Amino acid sequence: MGMVLAKKRQSTVFQTKKPAIDVQVFKFGGAAVKDPAAIRNVATILKNYASESLLIVVSAMGKTTNALEKIVAAHAQQNGEAPLLLEALKTAHYQAMGELFPADHEVFDQVNDTFVEIEWVLDEEPHDNYDYMYDQIVSVGELVSSKIVGAYLTQEGLPTQWLDARDVVQTNELYREAWVNWPETEARFQKNAAPMLEKPGFVITQGFIGSTIENFTTTLGRDGSDYSAAIFSFCGKAQGMTIWKDAPGVFSADPRFFPGAALLEKMSYEEAIAMTYYGAKIIHLKTVGPLQDRNIPLRVKSFLEPSGEGTLISAENPDTYPALVAVEANQALLKISNLDYSFVNEQHLELVFKTISDLRMQLTFLQNTPMHFLISVFDQENKVNQFVEQVQSTLKVEVATGLELLNVRHADAAMIAELCKNRSIYAELSAGATTQLLTKLEL
């Protein structure tokens, strides 16, 4: 095994106090803080909430996470590109700060010191555990952006304290997809976050990241900042949570592909959970559950049109919904059968699910028939071929790739027929209000 890449962080512990404030949690994603103009816009929005107790969760700036992923890959390959890629990323951040701050502002040193954490990793041989190495590098994007945005808010007359999310969100050691230790995270929130929220001004922290019990950095999965905001909302018993997007709210379908999609004024927790489970990208999959548990309303609003009402997600269930459509692209269908043509039994399913778990494949569809077990997964990183290799001595696997999974709720037969026009259907499953169809567009 390679050398340990990152030193254990020293966890910060503040004086314990029980919060007696009504906190709101705001989350701004990468598009909301992508450049100086966007950061100025965030400050303009937040000036309307200057008298409130806000905990602000931010993502990395723009496409920073993608750039950091390239650094991880380059370091793993030892192709010499990692330092160059890091230097380019640092330069982009320094240029942005140059437009926001005077040259002698302390934030330059703070950001430089944060990027040093990546340089420490690059000074060592690549770690055998790629996912561990990934988390130590990619997490820096959120740390840097939160320092920049927090410093700018303070400069603009909105005093903002900086909170390291790793001092609150404790997780297991499943790097890149860490699971939250809820009791310990709640206790850490009371120790580290609550006293800061009792002071005037805002508190800013990072989405996407946490730490193990030994204080090694973890991440919660791509696009996990929504989930982070829900974790902070749950622990702080927030009065409400708002996700600020570049869209005016939640639509019945992606308006880029379905021009007639309707903007939803309200959704129930259950409907939002169902839609995110079936592939809607507006909210991270794990976000709504913690909010529902404590009846915390969630509003999805636009940072481009902040006066709009957006979509409210709460315990209230509207009487009717339009047809809701979510599409998962890049799907592979695996048609699994027994080599001796008998039934696929429980032992076979155990092998299938263990292999899926070991390969960390993303399962999107499953259907059991007397002779076949059908599943679809995201077709990525050669995992489908690895799956076939690992089970082929026991099971026969037929693979179809290049598919899309259409997940449709509250639709009638006529609409489903319209959606499937010019498509071949490989598998179909209906349960309650939901119909799932694995399809391929015929050109």
Q: Say what the pLDDT of residue 74 is.
A: 98
User: Roughly what angle, to the nearest 10 degrees, separates helices 107-122 and 82-100?
Assistant: 170
CB 416 within 8 A of CB 435: yes
Q: Is 257 helix (H, G, I), strand (E, B) or coil?
A: coil
Closest listed residue to residue 158, CA positions, set 21, 50, 246, 294: 50
Q: Say what the pLDDT of residue 16 is.
A: 41
Kindly state the average pLDDT of the residues 302-314. Answer: 96
Provide, rounded to the nearest whole percent, the portion of the chain with pLDDT above 70. 95
Kindly state the average pLDDT of the residues 270-297. Answer: 91
Q: Which of 1-10, 208-217, 333-342 is the most confident on average?
A: 208-217
Report in angstroms the alpha-carbon separations of 196 from 79, 190, 206, 430: 44, 10, 15, 49
| pLDDT tens digit sequence for 167-217 | 999 999 999 999 999 999 999 999 999 999 999 999 999 999 999 999 999
Kindly state the average pLDDT of the residues 405-412. Answer: 93
Q: Say what the pLDDT of residue 9 is.
A: 58
Which carries the bigger pLDDT value, residue 364 or residue 11?
364
Q: How confident is the model at residue 285 (pLDDT cuts 50, 70, 90)?
A: confident
Q: Which tokens go with 270?
A: 């259950």
DSSP code for 189: I
Residue 211 CA neighbour count, 13 Å, CB half: 19
Helix (H) or strand (E) holding 70: helix 64-77
Burial 268-293 (b: 16+ CB within 10 A, else e): bbebbbbbbebbbebbbbbbbebbbe
Q: How confident is the model at residue 346 (pLDDT cuts 50, 70, 90)?
A: confident
Burial class of residue 159 (count of CB atoms within 10 Å of its CB; 0-12, 13-18, 19+)? middle
Report in angstroms the alpha-carbon separations of 340 from 41, 337, 355, 392, 394: 64, 9, 21, 12, 9
| pLDDT tens digit sequence for 210-233 | 999 999 999 999 889 999 999 999
Distance of alpha carbon 417 from alpha carbon 425, whole angstroms = 11
Domains of the chain and CATH, by start: 23-245 (3.40.1160.10), 324-441 (3.30.2130.10)
pLDDT greater than 60 at residue 438:
yes
Q: Say what the pLDDT of residue 279 is.
A: 79
| pLDDT tens digit sequence for 122-147 | 999 999 999 999 999 999 999 999 99
Kindly state the average pLDDT of the residues 393-420. Answer: 93
pTM of this prediction? 0.89
Q: How confident is the model at residue 7 (pLDDT cuts 50, 70, 90)?
A: very low
pLDDT greater than 70 at residue 8:
no
Query: Lowest mean pLDDT: which of 7-21, 123-137, 256-270?
Result: 7-21
Who's near 205: CB < 8 A, 6+ residues apart?
55, 56, 57, 58, 146, 162, 163, 164, 165, 168, 193, 228, 232
Residue 319 CA neighbour count, 13 Å, CB half: 0
